[in-house]
């Protein structure tokens, strides 16, 4: 499978985005998605290092132009991801980090799936739905009353459908125009992105 590429820059340096907000008010029923023939593990990265978090965020988010946390300094980012109410769940496939989900419990019972995605080399292998089910199992622990997520028109084209398949329902949609983050120098090639 070809690794997805972000949209080409527009001449005016702007990007139009449509963001869809989705929620679920009860745990999803499992859809029976299974994976065989591979060693799959989901582990919480407790006290995650800033460098490992950046690797996950930048590798998973590069094709979709995830930029907000690229713009943060290490101290600001570390304060967020090392907060005890943030859970970073990492998917490993045959021992390799293949994706992550970030569960934000800072609003008590109103839990956000703040980030979710796969490393580009693992897309198209049926792992996304399987991993999302496991991330939602974690999100619905304890006293959760609502889980919400947002996705936008820059994300994987199937992201919205996958969320809806597991029971998320759209409750809001917003359009916006942003400055293309590539023009801010936030997407310089990283050493791990230049090799196979």
Q: What is the CATH number of the domain that holds 97?
A: 3.40.630.30
146 within a domain of the structure (yes/no): yes
pLDDT digit string (tens) for 150-162? 999 999 989 999 9
Q: Residue ranges of the alpha helices (H) in 47-168?
A: 50-61, 74-81, 127-139, 159-165
Give domain status of residue 196, yes or no: no
Sign of the CA dihedral 134, 138, 139, 145?
A: positive
**pLDDT averaged over every residue in the chain:** 91
pLDDT tens digit string along 14-48? Answer: 999 999 999 999 998 776 666 667 899 999 999 99
Chain segment 70-108, per-residue pLDDT in tens: 999 999 999 999 999 999 999 999 999 999 999 999 999
Assess if residue 53 is contained within a domain: yes
The total domain count for the chain is: 1
Full domain range(s) for residue 151: 19-27+37-177
pLDDT the model gives residue 95: 95
The upper half-sphere exposure of residue 133, i.e. CA atoms within 13 Å in the direction of its Cβ, equals 13
Q: What is the pLDDT of residue 85?
A: 97
Within-domain flag for 75: yes
3-state DSSP call for residue 111? strand
pLDDT at 190: 53
Q: Is residue 183 part of a domain?
A: no
118 occurs within a structural domain = yes
Cα dihedral 154/171/159/27 (nearest 10) = 150
**In this predicted structure, what is the pLDDT of residue 189?**
60
**Can you tell me the distance from the alpha carbon of 34 to that of 161, in angstroms, rounded to the nearest whole number?**
18
Confidence class for position 8, pLDDT limits 50, 70, 90: confident
d(CA 136, CA 131): 9
Rounded to whole angstroms, how far apart are CA atoms 130 and 31? 9
SS3 of residue 76 by DSSP: helix
Flag whether 12 is in a domain.
no
Cα 164-65-80 angle, rounded to 5 deg: 80
Quote the tokens at residue 99: 């994706």
Residue 185 lies in a domain: no
């Amino acid at each position: 499978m070809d690794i997805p590429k972000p949209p080409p820059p527009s001449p005016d340096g702007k990007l139009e985005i449509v963001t869809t907000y989705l929620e679920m008010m009860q745990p999803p029923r499992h859809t029976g998605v299974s994976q065989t023939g591979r060693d799959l593990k989901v582990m919480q990265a407790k006290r995650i290092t800033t460098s490992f978090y950046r690797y996950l965020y930048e590798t998973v988010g590069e094709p979709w132009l995830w930029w907000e946390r690229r713009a943060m300094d290490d101290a600001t980012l570390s304060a967020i991801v090392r907060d005890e109410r943030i859970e970073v769940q990492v998917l490993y496939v045959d021992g390799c980090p293949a994706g992550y989900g970030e569960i934000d419990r800072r609003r008590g019972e109103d839990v956000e799936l703040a980030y979710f995605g796969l490393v580009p080399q693992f897309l198209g292998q049926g792992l996304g739905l399987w991993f999302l089910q496991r991330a939602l199992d974690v999100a619905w622990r304890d006293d959760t009353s609502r889980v919400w997520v947002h996705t936008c028109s820059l994300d994987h084209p199937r992201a919205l459908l996958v969320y809806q398949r597991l029971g998320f329902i759209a409750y809001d949609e917003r359009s916006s125009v942003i400055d293309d983050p590539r023009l801010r120098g936030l997407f310089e090639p990283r050493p791990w992105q230049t090799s196979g």
